[in-house]
Amino acid sequence: MKKASILTTTTLAGALLFTGVGANANAAEQVSKSQAENSVQELVTNNSNYTPKDGTKYTVMDEKYADPHHPENTYSVAFGEEPNQAPSFLYVNKDNGNIYDANGNLVQKASSGSEDNKQQTTDNNATAQNNEQQATDNNVTVQNNEQQATDNNVTAQNNEQQATDNNVTAQNNEQQATEKSLPETGETQTNSSLVTIFASVLLAVGSLLTFKRFSNNK
């Protein structure tokens, strides 16, 4: 009975230990091999302290090829460097992506580049949308200005048409006044003719009477 109990305890302990090791291994590898290789490549190609060979590969190597005292829990990333014949190594921490040299000195602290890039992309998209909105607003303003100019032109044309109509009305009024003046002038001329004829008749009668009186006196 005791042996069975001890065996069961040992089995459970082994299972827990194995589970814990597996969990630690999974937790440790927050950075993938390809991410480690890309991080080292970016560092080396953009840092004047390194002289990588043309066309060199950046490869995670087995631990046996790494420096004996390299930092623990790291990827050993090898690459060719001038003038060395043997590959050079940099070490990427599997938890946080920090890059170290063979002596454990921090060469580059990992940055939240992807998050920054996403934020930058979001900001750029927001800026682009704002620019598009501004362009749309500007287009609407231009269209409104063009519409206003069109309305002003229509108003000016209407004013010109109104002025033309007013001129026509004034001309019609003048024509009407002229037509009214013509009959009055004709009537005045007729009256003057009658007065002249009447005066001539009176003058003739007066002359005749005077002539008769003069004749009787003789």
> How many Cβ atoms sit within 10 Å of the Cβ of residue 104?
13
Q: Are 80 and 87 within 8 A, CB to CB?
A: yes
| Euclidean distance between CA atoms 111 and 185, whole angstroms | 109
Query: Per-residue pLDDT for the chain (218 aa), expressed as one digit of tens each?
Result: 444 444 443 443 343 333 344 444 444 468 999 999 999 999 999 999 999 999 999 999 998 888 888 899 999 999 999 998 889 999 999 999 999 999 999 999 987 654 554 456 566 666 667 777 877 777 777 787 788 877 777 677 777 777 677 776 767 777 776 666 545 555 555 666 787 887 888 887 777 777 776 666 65
The β-bridge partners of 81 are 52
CB-count exposure of residue 55 (10 Å: 0-12, 13-18, 19+): exposed
CA atoms within a 13 Å half-sphere pointing along the CA-CB vector of 190: 6
pTM as predicted: 0.41
| Euclidean distance between CA atoms 93 and 75, whole angstroms | 6
| Euclidean distance between CA atoms 177 and 61, whole angstroms | 115
